[in-house]
Amino acid sequence: MKKLVNVLVGAVLLPVGAQAFPIFDAIQSKLPVQKTAQRETCTNFSGTWKGSCVIDGKSTPQSTTISQSGCEILVVDGNGMSVGGLANATIMAPLAENVVLGVSMGTSANWNEDHTAIHAAYTGHIQVPSHGGATLAGTSTLQMNGDRLAFDASILGVSLSCVYDKQ
């Protein structure tokens, strides 16, 4: 479960250069205009955090370490996360003997308007050989609730809610 939480919280997000794909110029002209100025202040999630996560009513202890320098990059348990970017990742993980979970996912993460929470969206496909596959879609939010760190996600209809205290 910790790996799932870390993958969700710390997805590596790499921006794609528009100059590499000429069609992006045409697409970009159709997109709404957004503020491009870099914000210098944002919630700082840095620290070592311990708490628990609840999935389908079952609580399990969890811990995580976040390093943050500025508002664009967080490192969660060693995994880089670029806020304001897009990334694709393929993950293969053993579930049991001769059963491997495969996940191919695209992720985007952005600050909310006042830079107090990070919202992420996930899309992709999950496959377990001989067990079939499913379209992967979900969202998550990382934010502070008072002095506590909160991470909430919903993926494939499964809800995850984590609350951490700073150590």
Q: For the segment 134-166, what is each residue's pLDDT rounded down to a tens digit?
A: 888 999 999 999 999 999 999 888 899 999 999
- CA distances from residue 21 to 13, 26, 84, 153 in whole angstroms, order as listed: 19, 10, 19, 32
Give the amino acid at 75.
V
Cβ(82)–Cβ(15) below 8 Å: yes
Q: For the segment 124-137, what is each residue's pLDDT rounded down to a tens digit?
A: 888 877 778 888 89
- DSSP code of 9? H
Residues above pLDDT 70, as percent of the chain:
75
User: Is this prediction's pTM over 0.85?
Assistant: no
Give the integer Cα–Cα distance in Å for 66 and 54: 20
Q: For the segment 109-119, what is each residue's pLDDT rounded down to a tens digit?
A: 999 999 999 99
- Residue 109's nearest CA partner among 118, 98, 99 is 118
Partner residues linked to 8 by β-bridges: none
- DSSP code of 87? E
Cβ(107)–Cβ(13) below 8 Å: yes
Both structure tokens of 141: 């939010």
Task: Catalogue all structural domains in the chain, each as residue range(s) with its CATH number.
Answer: 2-15+42-166 (2.40.128)
The per-residue pLDDT for 95 is 75
DSSP conformation letters of 130-167: TTEEEEEEEEEEEEEETTEEEEEEEETTEEEEEEEEE-
